[in-house]
Chain A
C-alpha cells in the first residue's frame, strides 16, 4: 500500500516549484492510468494517486476511499507564503481546484529577503496556523510516511519560515520523515543578503532535516538550457515523421525560463517519490533512501542528477502528451548512457562533480523498462570507477519502478551522498564571511535575532564542511589481509 506524502511549499520559490510539481504529478498519474489501458481505471482513484492526492466528494466534503470514481482531487499539500502573490496565482490558475483554504497559510507583507524576519517574526506568529494546516492534512492520511518541504535558501520566507517549520515538524511529528528540496542561491544571486540567509538556514537544515536534496539556480539554468537545445534538436529531427512537434519547438523557442528550471526540480521530486507511488520490482521508499544514503545524521545532503534530459511540455499540452506513445529506445536510453549522463558534472542539480570526489553512498533510482540484471551490470561497472568510502564500498542502492515518467521509456535519478557537496558549502561560507567580516547588513537581522546566531550558523557550516573534507581525504586503513575461504 502506498504511503502518503505531504508536500509543504514555502515562499515564492517553493510555491513556484510546487506548481510545476503538481502539474507533473497529475500528468504522471494520467499517463500511468492511460498506460493501464482504456479501462475505467483512468477515472478511478487508485492506490498510486492516494500518496499525493485525496479524492473528495464535492458535496459532502468527505474523503472517498481508494477504488472510487474520481470526484474532486485535492493535493496533500500545505502552501505557505508571506507574500500571497504566487499562491494566489496558483489558486486562480488551472491547478486552483487542487487546494482549498485550509491548506493555505499566507500573509501579504513578505519577509523582505531576511531570514531572521521569516524565522523569528513570522515563525512564532504563524507557528500555530502552520501546525494546524499540517495537522489537518496529516489527519487525512492513513499512514503518513514523509513530509516533503520545498523552499529556497536565499530568500526570507522560504529560508526563515521554512526552517522554522522544519523544527516544528520535528517536535510534533518525530516519527515522520522530513525530506527537503532546498534551492541554494547561485554565485551571482541578485539578493545581497542571500549568503546570510542560506548559511543561517543551512544550520537548521543540517540539524532538523532527515534528508536534503540541495539544488542551485545556476545548475538548473544550464540544465534547462541544455534541455531546450535538446528539445529543439529533437523537434527538428522529428519534424519529418511526427506532426505534433508544435509543443516541443514552442518550449524551445521561449528559452529556459523559471518554468524550465522549476520543472527540473519537479522531475526530481516526482522521481524520488515514484517508487513510493507506483509498483516496481525493487521498490525503494523514502525511508530506505534515508537509511541507505545517510551514514551520519548531519551528513544528509544528497546531490541529484537526472538522465535523460526531461523536455518539459507546456501545461496545456500535458494531457495530449500523456497519451503520446513513448518514443522508441534511442542510444540515449541505454543503461551505460543513462548512468554516464547521471554522473556527468553538467547534469548535477547542484554545481559539483561527484565523480571526482568520494562517495559515502549512492542510489540509482530507475524507472521504466529496466531489469534487475541490467541494473546490476550498471552498478558493477560503476563500482570499479567510483571512489567509494572504504567502509561502504558496496553502498549502491538500486530502485526499480515500473512506471516511467510520461513520454520516456526509461529514466534514471542518481542520488549521491558525496563529499563534493562540501565545495558548494565552502563557496557559500566564503560569501557569508565576505559580508560578515564587515558586519554588513547585520542590523537588519538583529532587529529579530541575537547576533550570536550568525556565529553559531558559521560554526555549524564550518563543522559540516570539515566533516565532509575529513571523509573525502581520509585514507582507507592499511589493507588487512582477510583470510581467503579455506575450503
Chain B
C-alpha cells in the first residue's frame, strides 16, 4: 500500500498551470522507486481535500497521472469535503470539479465530511471547541478503519463515490450490541451511533413511495469489518460469505444482519461483505467498521450542487479559473455530472 500525501499550502485551483504540472510529475517520479520496491502493488491511497486549490486541483491531476501510470493498482482517494457552512467561497466549484475528475480516474472515493467529523468531535467525544488536530484524529481513525489490512481483495467500487459510514468504536460491548448499532447507522446513514433514529427501518425497493419522507439510506454495497481477537473464527482473518454462515460466529450473524436485501438497491447481487481481523483497532477490544456505497453521499451533493449552480449562473469567480485555462464547458460538464450522480443515488430507492 502506498500513501500519497499532499501537504502543501492551498490556493486557487491550478488544474492546468505549467508549474503545477511540474510538481505533479515530480511526485510521479518520486513514486516510481517506492512502487518498484513493492512485491505486489495492490493499491494506492491519496489523502487530499476537495475545497482548497492544491488538494483539489493538484490532487485530481495527480490522480489522473497515477491512474495512467499504474492502471492495475487500485487507487483510493480519501477526499475531505468542506464544511457545508463554507470555508472557501469557491469550495463548491472545487468540490464538484474534483469529484467529477475522480469519478473518471479513481477506483474509489472515500468522501469524508468535515461536518460529520465535527459532529463526532462535539457529540461523541464531547469536545466543546474541537481543534484541527481533533478533526484530523477522527478522520484518520475512519481512514484507518477503512484501509486496515484484511484478507479480502481490494474493494474496487468502480467509478462511484464511496462513503465511509463510520468506524464505530465501542468499548467492551458484545458483538451483537456493536453490530446492531452499526446496522442502524447503516440504515439511517448516520456517521455516529448517538441519537440514532431507531424508527427508520429498511424499505423494500418496490414499495418505496416517492413522496415518503423516509430517512432510510439505501446502499449499493457494504463492507463490514470486525476487529477484535475473537472476531475471526480461525487464526487468520478470513472473508465470510453471505448469509448461511453459522449463527454462532460473530461474522456469521453480522453477515446475516447486513445481508438483508432490503438494505440495498434491488439490482444488487450479494452486496454485503463481512471481513474479520484478529487485530484490535484503536485500542478497543472489539470494534466494527462499515464502508458503504450508499445514498448518504447525497448529503455532500445536495449541499454543493445547487450552490455551485447558482454561482455558475451568476458567472461569479469563474474568471479565476479561466485564467488557468479552464473553460465554461468544464464547469458545465462537472455540474451535469453532479446532477446525474444525485439522480443515480436517488434512484437506488426505486426498484
Contact = CB atoms under 8 A, between A and B. Distances in A.
B80 to A, nearest CB: 14
B87 interface: yes
A383 interface: yes
A296 B10 contact: no
Interface in A339-394: 360-361, 371-374, 376, 379-380, 383, 389-394
Nearest to A373: B129
A371 B346 contact: no
B299 interface: yes
Interface string A392-420: 11111110000000000000000000000
A296 B316 contact: yes
B86 A394 contact: yes
B241 to A, nearest CB: 28
Contacts, number: 109
Interface string A215-252: 00000000000000000000000000000000000000
A483 B302 CA distance: 8
Contacts of B213: 484
B282 interface: no
Interface stretch (B164-172, B173-181, B214-222, B247-255): B214-222
B156 interface: no
Contact of A395 (B86, B215, B320): B86
B89 A293 contact: yes
A373 to B, nearest CB: 4
B311 A392 contact: yes
A206 to B, nearest CB: 14
A482 B12 contact: no
A174 to B, nearest CB: 10
Nearest to B306: A482
A291 B129 contact: no
Interface string A449-487: 000000000000000000000000000010010111111
A421 to B, nearest CB: 17
Interface stretch (A49-57, A105-113, A280-288, A430-438): A280-288
B90 A487 contact: no
Given A296-B316, A482-B306, A396 B86 contact: yes
B89 A392 contact: yes
Contacts of A65: none
Contacts of A486: 214, 295, 298, 346, 349
B296 interface: yes
B131 A487 contact: no
A397 B189 CA distance: 30
Given A292-B90, A390-B310, A394-B85, A487 B214 contact: yes
A135 to B, nearest CB: 20
Interface centre among B128, B214, B311 (most CB of A within 10 A): B311
A109 to B, nearest CB: 40
Interface in B178-229: 189, 213-218
B263 to A, nearest CB: 12
Nearest to A361: B89
Nearest to B315: A296
5 contacts: A295-B89, A296-B316, A373-B130, A480-B306, A485-B299
Interface of A: 281-283, 285, 287-288, 291-297, 360-361, 371-374, 376, 379-380, 383, 389-398, 477, 480, 482-487
* List of 8 A-B pairs having minimum Cβ-Cβ separation, nearest first: A394-B86, A295-B316, A391-B310, A487-B295, A487-B217, A373-B129, A292-B89, A391-B311
